[in-house]
Amino acid sequence: MMTLSLTAQILPPTAAVRPKVIENHGDSRTDNYFWLRDKVNPEVIAHLEAENRYTESRMKATEELQATLYREIVGRIQEDDTSAPTRNGEFEYYTRTAKGHQYPQWCRRRGANGAEQVLLDGNELAKGHQYFQVGVFSVSPDQKLLAYGTDTEGDEILTVRVKDLTTGQLLPDRITNANYSVVWAEDNKTLFYNVLDAAKRPYKVFRHTLGEAKPDTEVFHEADERFTVEVAKTRSKAFVFLQINSAITSEVRYLPAAKPTAAFQVLYPRVQDVEYEATHHGGHWYIRINDTGRTFRLIQAPLADPSQKKELIPARGGVTLEDVSAFADHLVITEREQGLLQLRVRRLSNGAEHFVTLPEPVYTLAAQGGPEFDTMLLRFNYTSLVTPPSTFDYDMNARTRTLVKQQPVLGGFDSKNYTSERIFATAADGTKIPVSLVYRKGLKKDGKAPALLYGYGSYGIPSEPNFSSERLSLLDRGFVYAIAHIRGGSDMGKLWHDAGKMLNKRNTFSDFIAAADLLSKEKYTQPKRLAIMGGSAGGLLMGAVVNMRPDLFGAVIAKVPFVDVLSTMMDATLPLTVGEYEEWGNPADEKAYSYMRSYSPYDNVESQAFPNMLVTAGLNDPRVSYWEPAKWVAKLRAVKKDKNLLLLKTNMGAGHFGASGRYERYKETAFDYAFLFQALGVEAR
């Protein structure tokens, strides 16, 4: 066997230059690495594998550190654990993990002291597969059948099976090419589900009757490629919904869940730029809608005549109404004000209203609800940068909460050892940008501490201040961890999203740069000790800011980065592209094209010095194709004027979300952290 020399082992791969000229609106671009899009070309796979070998060789010196970090991360989790049980009628449902096993078991018991029944064992189902996820878990109304969907490639295409929970046997029914929504009708034999088109868009809904050999019935086809369709069911169990959404427009259709062969009715016809969603209670719909203001209002409308709208809560400029959920005697309204979520509870029988009180000034929460309708208990999840994820049951009448479960953090964790705060950066246009921070107490603000700044800023998805036990491996070694709540997300409400998309997208990048500047100015860190991280659209953020201000950062982790913006948005055959015109713009429009051209990371790489960079990809990724990070790294290698690390790590058996097994995810985190220590020159004591 030939032994490679050390020099050969560490030479970075060089991708072949095969120029492809692309012309649009009089603009000519030359893409030297377009050929990397050909997944079936053995040369492409060979290049990705060469990059993986190079990354492994450059990280070899950190293997002992990776092992140490991995042991720390695993040492903080309770490997044998169960989730907080969720009640559904006479049963409690929960997941259970066992030490040494990658995947959970899905279980139930009859009451708190009942015997455990294992419904699904992820470890058994995952055997023989490099990747495994359960994407659908739906129990029939009589709780005798389970419909579940599995993904074994990471491409988010599900196969749905039905299990008899009395006998433990699988029914012969099999649904393929399904997506993430499967709903039972009340007859316990009819399933509604959505399927994907060639561009991975959920575009049709079918009705399946158990045991029938004839083809399933198509009940809806969304022809407009901007829109997706999902199936849902009201908590009242009275209606099945078709939720039809583009990025800025929506429509709801419904049918009685007890009459699955009835025709779906339109609640309100779609109106461009108007979004709405509904919940059901008694003789009324309760509807969250932005027809009179971008931040949404709450209306009530009778089932018999939804046009008779009654406003309950008006649209308000500083408060975004994010969700409405109905219980037998309560409405739970989730609002966002000054970047924080609040739960407003309205008792329907007497009109009394209050907000749930919360213990910390900066936190995040989610009203989980649960499947039960006739209950006074609201289940919600709460966490902060220093508080582990906690599940509460809140008595909506007594206004008291009970802690059901808090994620155990082993190894002597004490939240009192850490400080969290929120500071504000000033953006280029004067806007104040919140930055959430957490660090170990005793930090000296002398600019010497290493820091990791996270950002996302797209699709109206907020970057919430969540707890991470894995992150303690950084904090306990002196890191400051920061979150930039930049425009493009909805961290400060719907208007925050609007201010960072389409022709406002560059605000996202300048906001992040302002946050990075602030961390250095206030001496939390300094540029050569500052790492930044983002994934997917947050990877686009990484690519844009590193092109604009490479001097600000010592290291970059770009996870499955959406960096080839123009070429992707110009290819309507790719997954998600058409539906994202309302987030990024349609490059068929010259103004939109020119604007995207101005920031598209791949197209704006210049010959300059860049920080140390770790870039990841997933070969089966349907959201950000593997070739985007691969092309970007190839181009950076060809033009960069530095000797810093540039690593590409492609998961050859997974998709957008990386490894599926929990221990494999912990190894990925340990790898990322080891890269940070090496890239920033931080001693991992």
Residues designated as active site? 536, 621, 656
In three-state secondary structure terms, 474 is helix
492 vs 486: CA distance, rounded Å: 9
> Helix (H, G, I), strand (E, B), or coil: what is residue 173?
strand
> What are the φ/ψ torsions at residue 287 (nearest 5 degrees)?
-130, 130
Measure CA of the first residue to CA of the last residue in the chain; give whole Å: 38
Dihedral sign (CA 658, 662, 664, 666):
positive
Residue 33 Cα distances to 19, 143, 390, 655, angstroms: 7, 53, 47, 21
Q: Which among 406, 405, 333, 407 is positioned nearest to 369, based on CA atoms?
A: 333
Q: Do the beta carbons of residue 19 and residue 644 sit within 8 Å?
A: no
| Among candidate residues 472, 462, 252, 486, the one with its CA nearest the CA of residue 364 | 462
The C-alpha atoms of residue 20 and residue 30 are separated, in whole angstroms, by 6
Under 8 Å between Cβ of 50 and 10: no
**d(Cα 194, Cα 187) in Å, to the nearest integer?**
19
Query: Three-state secondary structure along 395-410?
Result: ECCCCEEEEEEECCCC
CB 448 within 8 A of CB 526: yes
Say which DSSP state 683 is in: -
CA 142/CA 160 separation, integer angstroms:
19
3-state secondary structure of 246: coil
Residue type, 493: G
Q: How far is CA 398 from CA 345, 356, 405, 586, in A?
A: 12, 11, 20, 52
CA–CA dist 46, 50 (Å, integer): 6
Q: How far is CA 564 from each of CA 27, 299, 430, rounded to the nearest angstrom?
A: 16, 42, 30
What stretches of 5-131 show up as alpha helix (H) in DSSP? 6-10, 42-58, 63-76, 122-125
- At 612, give phi and psi (nearest 5°): -60, 135
C-alpha span between 328 and 346 (Å, rounded): 11
**Structure token digits, residue 466:** 């969540």
d(CA 587, CA 554): 33
Query: How many residues in the chain?
Result: 685
- 8 conformational bin, left if phi > 0, alpha if psi -120 to 50, beta if neither: alpha
What whole-number distance in Å separates Cα of residue 150 and Cα of residue 322? 30
Q: How many C-beta neighbours within 10 Å does residue 270 have?
A: 18
Quick count: other Cβ atoms within 10 Å of Cβ 102? 17
Quote the CA–CA distance of 673 and 644 in Å, as a whole number.
17
Q: Which of 318, 303, 553 is nearest to 452 (CA)?
A: 553
Q: Which residues pair with 281 in a beta bridge?
A: 284
Is the CB of residue 492 less than 8 Å from the CB of residue 434?
Answer: yes
